[in-house]
Amino acid sequence: MTFDKKHRSRTLSDVIFASTDVQQTLKDYANNKRDKHLLLYGPKGTGKSVSAELIMRERLGSIWQAGLAEPFNAKAYAAQHDSFGPLLSQWNWQLSAGARAGCSIVDEIDQFTLPMQHKLRAFIDQYEMGVVIATTNNLHLVDGPLKDRFRPVCVEYPSIDQWVPRVVAVMAVEGIPITASQALVLLNGFDGSGRSLNDWIEDYVLRLQGAVHKLTKPLASGVTPSQVVTIHNTTEGK
């Protein structure tokens, strides 16, 4: 399993948001309190796709199962379909399984051609038994009238301080317990997306595990924070 997959957020509360307003709005969607179609936009690697999946999963609750809730990627969808029949049938399957409303994800909605965006707008106007959660890194490529059907929510990169709890949590799962201030040290120089954060942490995990292995053979179970600091100080900075 890749490091990224191993540490993928399991619930919406594991996802770090720069804005508490955005976090609350998405929580409301996850709790079925909001039903307007949702458009998550912002730079790549801010957690839009993972949030869309978790919102859908939480909205569907106990009826969620992979076959009923596969996210659609606009480009792949358009390569196979020129109508929104498959999306409608996903809603119908969910409703027949007991969902109170359908829910579908359209990732990278900007990848639909303009005619396909027009069809989606017509589809949304015709059928009211489901919610579309769309994501895009390119809001300017989404047709205005289609955008108007959605609640647009801007998802931005969290600050270094906001990433700290995630670094602490991931390191704990890796058996390397560290404090918040040690996590801040590890984040020194980090200036990227959630996706690159995973790579950044993985580099440290491998480096620290290698260093601990050299220092403490046989490897003790878990590493103490003071060892981490010692190791960090003796490991080249990134």
Query: Given the rule CB under 5 A, which residues bind Mg ion?
Result: 49
Task: Give the binding range for ligand ADP (CB under 6 A) out of 3-11, 143-151, 200-208, 229-237.
Answer: 3-11
Residue with Cβ nearer Mg ion (193 or 235)? 193
Which residues, 6 or more positions from 119, have their beta carbon under 8 angstroms from its beta carbon? 82, 83, 84
Give the shortest CB-194-to-Mg ion separation in angstroms. Answer: 10
Residue with Cβ nearer Mg ion (150 or 204)? 150
Residue 8 near which of Mg ion, ligand ADP, none (CB within 5-8 Å, type-dependent): ligand ADP
Distances (CA, A) of 4 to 51, 55, 110, 158, 221: 15, 19, 25, 18, 23
Among 195, 209, 230, 235, binds ligand ADP (CB under 6 A): 195
44 binding ligand ADP? (CB under 6 A): yes
Task: Give the binding range for ligand ADP (CB under 6 A) out of 86-94, 139-147, 177-185, 192-200.
Answer: 192-200
- Nearest CA-CA partner of 36 in 154, 155, 148, 123: 148
Q: What phi and psi values does residue 200 have, to the nearest 5 degrees?
A: -60, -45
C-alpha span between 19 and 189 (Å, rounded): 22
46 binding ligand ADP? (CB under 6 A): yes
Among 26, 38, 49, 77, binds ligand ADP (CB under 6 A): 49
Token pair belonging to 22: 């955005």
Residue with Cβ nearer ligand ADP (115 or 192)? 192
Eight-state DSSP code of residue 174: T
Residue 14 burial by Cβ neighbours in a 10 Å radius (0-12, 13-18, 19+):
middle
135 binding ligand ADP? (CB under 6 A): yes
Residue 94 near which of Mg ion, ligand ADP, none (CB within 5-8 Å, type-dependent): none
Give the shortest CB-160-to-Mg ion separation in angstroms. Answer: 22
C-alpha span between 43 and 29 (Å, rounded): 21
81 binding ligand ADP? (CB under 6 A): no
Residue 160 burial by Cβ neighbours in a 10 Å radius (0-12, 13-18, 19+):
middle
Q: Residues interacting with ligand ADP, by CB under 6 A?
A: 4, 8-9, 15-16, 44-50, 135, 158, 166, 194-195, 198
